Structure 1
Amino acid sequence: MSRRRDALELAEELLSDIELNRLSGQDIARKASRLARIANDFDATTWLRYEVSGYPEGSLDADSVSAAKRSGRETRNDDGETRYWTASIGTIQAIVNLSHVQIEASRDAPVSISSANPSQYVSAPSGNTGERSALRNQAVQYQGKLDKVLGAIHQWVSELYYELRFGGAVEDAFTVVRTNVDGKISALVPDALVKLTSAFENSVSGNPEDWAGAASTCRRLIKSVADSLRPPGDPVDGRKMGDGNYINRLIDWIVNHSSASETYRDVIVADLSYLGRRLDALADAGNKGAHAEVTQYEASRYIAGTYLFLGDILMLHEEGEKEQGEV
């Protein structure tokens, strides 16, 4: 089962936990933290860590302030200065629970028997009424704080759920392409599956250096396909066909070794040119000693683009082999 499906199932379960009040606030925060980790949502992971463990004592740093704002923990004192309540969600829940227990306990006021009428019970004078009022105010105040945090978590989980649900349909469509490529690419490049597996593992890593590695792997794989279909050679119509000119070589193969329509060939060539330029730019930056900045989104996009291109190439290759067999 993919991480996306794991995350989708956990998100759906967590929404029910919140809406049906099946878990304590602390357990909801912990479960949400696990969901953030599975979904690779690093901002949410940082935010929820504060909700589970509490916020720093004293002045807050930029990360904890951002997390507190996300949970609606802002308040203002009498001077209009912004403050943040910093107790963990577990502590807030405990105060709410304790307040309700104390309210119930204060209802058991001591009673005495009236000397004038022994059959009449009279409540003993006490401060229980005022005490219960204070406890109710405390319970309402802290329940409001708890509801704000749980509301923020519910909103995040709900948004992630629909994102994952929509993305699942896209993933299923992509799986069709991926399955086709994985089953056939080894005929052209024997170690292609090793390269693709490496690229996928790097793309889901939490290390930004691995994301650049995923892009580099995609480039090497496309070059390997070019080496198999159109080995380096002499220039053609002024276009270099050397070892490093793998994009030119693939374009030459597409144009001269495919019976596909001109429009279809143009689409594949355009996609290849765009993807190749992006990957070459990253490689050139690395060769010059510059740090190649690749986001996780970009790494995933390079992998998807590589798979779609390989699917087109394999289809053209199969059609070419069939035509040769029919001759």
Structure 2
Amino acid sequence: MAMTIDDQLREILSSALGGHASMSATELAQTALRVAVLRDDPLAESWLRLELDGVSRSGPKSPEIAQCHSRLAALVGTAEARVQISAVVEALIARRSAPLNGDDSVQGQSIGELESLYLATREIHDDPITPGMTPIDTGLASINRDKTRATTTPLLMQQGLIIQRIRQAAYAYLVRVESEIVRGQLVPDTIAQGRAFVEASLATRAPDALEALASAQDRLAQGDRESLSHAATSCRRAIKALADALYPPSEPIIDDEGITRVMDDEHYRNRLVEYVRSNRGKSTHADLLASNIAVLGTRLKSLDDLASKGVHSEVPTSEADACVTWTYMLAADLLRVDKETSGHETQEATPGGS
């Protein structure tokens, strides 16, 4: 039987936390990133990618990190996302700030580069005096070595401190995730908050979509082959019901590229893409999604293909779980646009709140 994502997480955490002492900081951060991705934790994923990729002076603009920020905004709202992103960026800057000779600049290298630099500096620092030289040459070599060590010792302390801070941050994240899973919290707070927002919004805007998502969740929990297939098809029903509520079937339209797009009942993916496109300039979140409309179309197709598997073949647990999670994520994205453009106020629920 295929492992569930929960099983995978427990296995990864057990291995990493049991053997962390022998892992490099890079390996520990890579493991933490894998956990964040499996857990759909966009906030942790964003700062761990920065640690592993390095901090660009022009800012964190990689497509992966931009997508993390967009997902976080869909889950918790733009304002709250900015607060959370600001907090993790400030923490990252603090980890990478180690003043040396009055220089308080941030070390922006990737953690792998920092570790390589540390090893190279250590090699220079520990370079021994060549044996067999004359007393005068040995004395001069000793003086030069002392000068070199006077320079490299502070560098080693600075580099080692930064590496240790990053290592501790990755380790602390793994410990926190393990603690949450042991307590039965299988998803991060951001995911729980996002799902609460989606469910509250769908109750008003698209009750049929909410019913389909609830059915998908129930089927996923049952876990047998037939239930997993039904979970996937329920996700497809939820997506279509949301499309019907946000952009009902209509006459064909001509898009920005001059291509005629069918907007009938069957082509609900077209309708959702056009819904986002038509709300550019009216919604911050629509602008975010529309900035890469091709990615949105690909997401819709991939999710639709995954959901459609339930009709034709056996669906593995991991795929059914991913299908439900990404249906929630897609709904959150679209419902944020709806909230900003239609004035549909939905009280933001907090995990565990009433």
TM-score using structure 2 length: 0.46
TM-score using structure 1 length: 0.49
